[in-house]
Structure formats: C-alpha cells, structure tokens
Amino acid sequence: MNRIYVSLCFLLAGLIGWSCSNGGQYNDGYIKYEPVTVSDFDRQILLKNIAEMDKRYDLEGRMITKVIKDWNYHTDAMNGTFHEVRASFYYAVSLLDCGMKEYEQRAFDVIDKTISLQDTDPNSPSCGVWPYYEEEPLATKKSPIDYNWADFNAVSLLDIYMGHKDKLPAALLKKVENALVLAAKSVQKRNCGPGYTNIAIMGTYVTYVTSHLFDMPEMQEYANERLKKFYEYTQEKGGFSEYNSPTYSIVAIDELNRMQRHIVEPEAKRMIDELYVKCWEMIARHYHKKSAQWAGPHSRSYRTLVSTSYYGILKEASEGKVNLGYDPERVDVKTKHHIPENLLSYFLTPDYPRTETDIFEKEEPQIVGTAYLTDNYVLSSVSRSSMWNQRRPLTAYWGELNMAHYLQVRLLHDMYDFSTASVFTRQKENKVLAVINFGTNGGDKHISIDRIRDGKFKAKDLRLRFEFGSCKDLDVSLPVRENVAFTAEASGCKTAIRLLEARFDHLKGYWEKGGDGENSWVDYVIYSGNEKDFDLTQVAQAIYAFALSFGNQSDELSVDGADAVISDNVLNASWGDLSVQAPVKPGKNPANL
C-alpha cells in the first residue's frame, strides 16, 4: 500500500505541481530533496575531512579558525588567527552528512553561532551577507564586502535544511529558514549578471530552491528567468565568460550537479543538463595527458599546477577509467560527476599534435584562446588579457604526473602581479608573439578593487618574469644585450625567447635570473631600487614585445624573423604570419581584459 501511495504521490507532483512527503522525501515538480545518506566509502572521506577540520575547531568560539599570513582583497587584517564563516558552515555540513549521532550537537552549535554573524539589518546594503571572519563584521570592516558570501553560505545552509531538517531543533530550524530567505533576497537584489559565471550559477540555484522551499512566487519567477538568461547567454557565447578556469569550472560543474540533484522541472532540467555537458567539453579539450595538467589559457586560476583533487574528480567521473592514482577528496561527498561518454577519448586516447582554438568573446574586441597540445608539452595563449594574478594568459606545461613543470609569463609590481598591465598575443603551434602595455586606470593587485588613480602608483620594483615552475635547475645564458635571443632549458623542454622591444621612458632595463629552490625564473628588470613615484599619464612610451618558441630539448628552436616597429604611437610586432599591434603610450584600459 505504501509503495502505491508513493508512486501516485510523485506522479501527481509531476502532473499538477503539488508536493508530497514520505520519509522526508519531497518533490513538488520543481524541486526535490531527501534526507542525506552516505555510503561507507563516502563516510570515510567525511571522517577524514572532519578530523582535519577538528584541528582548527575552537570549542569555546564554536567555529573553525584560520591563520592569516598575507594580504587578501576582502580582509582588513594581514595576520592573526580568525574565526572563518565559510569553513564553519562546511564543517557543520560534514558533521551532519556523516550520519553519526555524536557529531550532531557540535554541528548545531556551529550553525547557531555562524548564522548569527549574518547582516540582518534591513536598512543595510549588505543585509543577508556574512563576513569572512567573526572578527571583521560587515558594519565596521574597511576592505570591500564580498557579496558572494550570501551565495556560498546559502548553498551550505540549503544542504543543511534539505538534507537534515528533521534533525534540527525547532528554534535552530527557524533560524536557518530566516537566514536562507535573507541571503536569497540579497542575491536577488544584487542580480549578478551571466558573465560572472560561478556566481551566476550559484545565485540561480539559491534563489530557485529557496523560493520554492518557502513559497516566494516573485522570487520563483526571478530565478526561472535568471536561469533562462544564463543559459541563452552561455549558448550564444559558446561557453562561460570565466573561460577554461581550473578553479571556477569545477565550481560550475559542482553547482550544476547540485542543480541536477534538486531541480526537476523539465525545462529547467534540460537547460542545466546542457550547461553541465558544455562545461565538461571545455575541461576535456584542455586536458594534457602526459603532464596531467589543465592546459591554458585560464581566465581565473589560483594556482598554476592543478590540485590533486582534480584527479580524484576525473577518476570518479569516469568510473575509474581515468585513474591517476588519486581517490576523490571531496568537501561535499553528495556531488557525483559523470564525464559524457563522447568526451572520454580526450583523457584516454587523445589525438596529438593538435590545436584547440576557442573564441571566448565573440564581440569586438574578441578574446581568442589557443592551445597547442603535443605528446610531451602544451603551449597556450589568449589574444588579450590583463596580467592579474588570477589570469594565465601565456603558459606551457610539460613533465609527468606528480612531476609536472610550467612556464608562466608575469609582469610584477613589487613582486606581485600588476593588473593594470595588458598582454596581447598571437600563436601558431609552438610559437607565440606577445606585446605588453599599461593602462592608466587598471587595478594594482586586483583588476577592480584597488584601481590605480590617474595613472599614479609607487614602486620599488617592476619586472617582466618568465617563470619556470617546479624547475629547480634552469640552464640559461643571459643575453648581453636586451634584444638578443636566448634559450632556457629545464626538465626535458626548452624555450627560446627574444625581446623585440623594451621601453619605459628613460628607464634602462637588464636581464637577471633567479629562483627560490622550487621555481626558477628569468627576469627583465624594468626598475629596481628605492621606492619612487610613477605617473603613467606622463609616460610617453611603456611597452614590451617578445617572441617565444617552446619545444622538446632536442628540437631546434628559432625566433629569427620576429620584429617590432613603432609608428604613430603604435607598436607593430610581426613574426611570419603572426602580427600584434598595441598603443605604446599608457591610456585607458581596453575592454575584455
């Protein structure tokens, strides 16, 4: 009798959109959820994660702690121990997901404390948002508020509500409900556009599910339209604005998988499934088998070599076919990925050499990505980008699993990536022609948060760096003159480089090499000395151009024939059928960077 009831209930839910509940299961034809149960294998992953986080748990403070040692965009403090909001919510989810009664009270304590840090002032512009840390409440912090924390933390609270609502004490359940509504309203008010990929997806999920959980018709309409808008935008572009991002492509497939688990309305589900496949297509086409690296160019990345957690995802998503020796290391064991069958060949039997070309931005000025993949290495570039530390506009990878190496081109201001610098490239197979110039209104460490004003900044050091990652030993003889070609060899591959033009008004640069015991580099030093004031609006010429060829150690590499000429305040670089043009005088930063 019970089986007949459940079948009829779900049938009616799909036909007329009403909800039913049986054993905690819920399906109203739009969203579905059920109590979380995990396998013994997944429970062991959770217990391992919990054991690691236990080391950072403050029993009295009822939160996870974090030691800060450096500057961050959204944090006032430079160092110290702080109580971390996002990690605390993750911890609570893991404590509940593992299904062990002895962890429940600690989870309740963490949820109760961490929810209390949300901005609940209806007159505040950040109402519904959480701070990064308890010690930096939004009302008094000086650094910019990260409004993404409404999205990220609401996702964790939705996990708690839908997976464990029957466990929560009544008073705490009400707090979770109120916090979710405030967070979802913040997301809707902010109305993040489809170009901010990971937040566009995450915020859609938060508003879609929350609005159906708590019967909010106006938000339901908003969330449905937001999903449709993001889908159409992505289809028209041919991919995500945060293109080929090792960081945010994983966030995207995680959140799309979360949508697949909870959003069941047929038209919404169709769009979500297609977006999920599109994300895997980008990942697959940029996988380099021998080095086991994610080929560039990358719109956003927090590290140049992939984390081993990526290999665990590939193993699980391929049902063990792509086995690089790493098991899944998931914060959320409920996420289960699947590589579409037609894409497995990119991981198992790739066709090399080949060139992958992507038009990431179709409107002028276009952004075009190129990746040249061979058996032993991959070289990639993007036609236009900033030099922000999250961008990877020109990279190479080689080596093997657990012994991968990289080349990354960087422009550093006081040894930190200078966001106001722009790079323009053209690539054909293993050759790249590149030009770097400067904007007067770009960012310093970040592309938008700390913009330089009126072209003015202070610096002790400016340099163009060719960084050879995970290369302790670099065989290179520096050129005696700035525009003489040279080669650098490391770990079985080599790079030929020739600086075609180097101008920063009267400054005379020079080459030097260095390393830190793990990485090596060759730097063209633009300025190094006492801190001085720079004013880009008063600089007549600030531009650097170079030709780069990459190959195996046995290859004959040449950068002969590359040239650069300045005419009418524009540098014209050429190398065979490659050509790049860029203004030599700093000006307003161009679009699409």
- In this predicted structure, the answer to whether residue 1 has a pLDDT above a threshold of 90 is no
Nearest CA among 241, 265, 253, 362 for reference residue 314: 253
Q: What is the pLDDT of residues 88-116, one digit of tens each?
A: 999 999 999 999 999 999 999 999 999 99
Alpha helix (H) residue ranges in 116-165: 148-164
Tell me the average pLDDT across 555-583.
Answer: 98
Beta-strand (E) ranges in 470-577? 475-476, 486-490, 493-504, 510-515, 520-535, 542-552, 563-567, 570-575
- Percentage with pLDDT > 70 across the chain: 96
CATH architecture for residues 43-186: Alpha/alpha barrel (1.50)
Q: What is the pLDDT of residues 382-436, one digit of tens each?
A: 999 999 999 999 999 999 999 999 999 999 999 999 999 999 999 999 999 999 9
Instruction: Tell me how far apart the alpha carbons of residues 474 and 326 are, in angstroms, rounded to a whole number.
Output: 30
The count of residues in the chain is 593
- Give the model's confidence band at 15: pLDDT under 50 very low, under 70 low, under 90 confident, else very high: very low
Residue 263: beta bridge partners? 31
Nearest CA among 131, 141, 132, 147 for reference residue 184: 147
Q: Please, where in the chain does CATH 1.50.10.10 lie?
A: 43-186
Beta-strand (E) ranges in 335-391? 354-361, 367-373, 377-382, 384-386
Instruction: Say which residues have a Cβ less than 8 Å from residue 349's Cβ, sequence separation at least 6.
Output: none
Q: Is the CB of residue 207 less than 8 Å from the CB of residue 199?
A: no
Q: Is the CB of residue 381 less than 8 Å from the CB of residue 427?
A: yes
Residue 533: beta bridge partners? 458
- In this predicted structure, the answer to whether residue 516 has a pLDDT above a threshold of 80 is yes
Two tokens, residue 490: 């490391």
Q: How many CA atoms lie within 13 A of 408 on its CB side?
A: 26
- Give the model's confidence band at 356: pLDDT under 50 very low, under 70 low, under 90 confident, else very high: very high
- The single residue listed with the structure tokens 């159409």 is 232
- Give the model's confidence band at 77: pLDDT under 50 very low, under 70 low, under 90 confident, else very high: confident
- Give the model's confidence band at 22: pLDDT under 50 very low, under 70 low, under 90 confident, else very high: low
Cα of 40 vs its chain's centroid, Å? 31
Residue 533 phi/psi, 5° resolution? -85, 135
Two tokens, residue 84: 């971390």
Cα of 134 vs its chain's centroid, Å? 25
User: In Å, how far are 164, 531, 570, 575 from 535, measured between CA atoms?
Assistant: 57, 13, 20, 32
What SS3 string covers 284-331? Answer: HHCEECCCCEECCCECCCCCCCCCCHHHHHHHHHCCCCCCCCCCCCCC
Is the torsion defined by CA of 206, 208, 209, 215 positive or negative?
positive
- In this predicted structure, the answer to whether residue 18 has a pLDDT above a threshold of 60 is no
Q: What 3-state DSSP class applies to 431? A: strand
Q: Which long-range contacts (CB under 8 A, 24 or more apart) does 62-68 make?
A: 62/109, 62/110, 62/112, 62/113, 62/114, 63/88, 63/110, 63/113, 63/114, 63/134, 64/88, 64/90, 64/91, 64/110, 66/133
Instruction: Tell me how far apart the alpha carbons of residues 457 and 440 are, in angstroms, rounded to a whole number.
Output: 10
Peptide bond preceding 353 in cis form (omega within 30 of 0): yes
Q: What is the pLDDT of residues 172-198, one digit of tens each?
A: 999 999 999 999 999 999 999 999 999
Residue 464: beta bridge partners? 411, 524
Strands 287-288 vs 293-294: parallel, antiparallel or unpaired: antiparallel
pLDDT at 590: 81
- End-to-end CA separation in angstroms for the chain: 62
pLDDT at 6: 39
DSSP state for residue 342 in the 8-state scheme: G
Instruction: Tell me how far apart the alpha carbons of residues 369 and 592 are, in angstroms, rounded to a whole number.
Output: 13
Q: How many CB atoms lie within 10 A of CB 581?
A: 12
User: In Å, how far are 51, 248, 338 from 309, measured between CA atoms?
Assistant: 18, 14, 15
Instruction: Say which residues have a Cβ less than 8 Å from residue 198's Cβ, sequence separation at least 6.
Output: 242, 248, 251, 252, 255
Instruction: Tell me how far apart the alpha carbons of residues 208 and 191 are, in angstroms, rounded to a whole number.
Output: 13
Q: Is the CB of residue 160 less than 8 Å from the CB of residue 176?
A: yes
- Give the model's confidence band at 23: pLDDT under 50 very low, under 70 low, under 90 confident, else very high: low
Instruction: Tell me how far apart the alpha carbons of residues 552 and 449 are, in angstroms, rounded to a whole number.
Output: 41
- In this predicted structure, the answer to whether residue 592 has a pLDDT above a threshold of 80 is no
User: In Å, how far are 117, 150, 270 from 179, measured between CA atoms?
Assistant: 10, 10, 30
- Give the model's confidence band at 118: pLDDT under 50 very low, under 70 low, under 90 confident, else very high: very high
Cα of 212 vs its chain's centroid, Å? 29
DSSP state for residue 512 in the 8-state scheme: E
- In this predicted structure, the answer to whether residue 331 has a pLDDT above a threshold of 80 is no
Instruction: Say which residues have a Cβ less than 8 Å from residue 48's Cβ, sequence separation at least 6.
Output: none
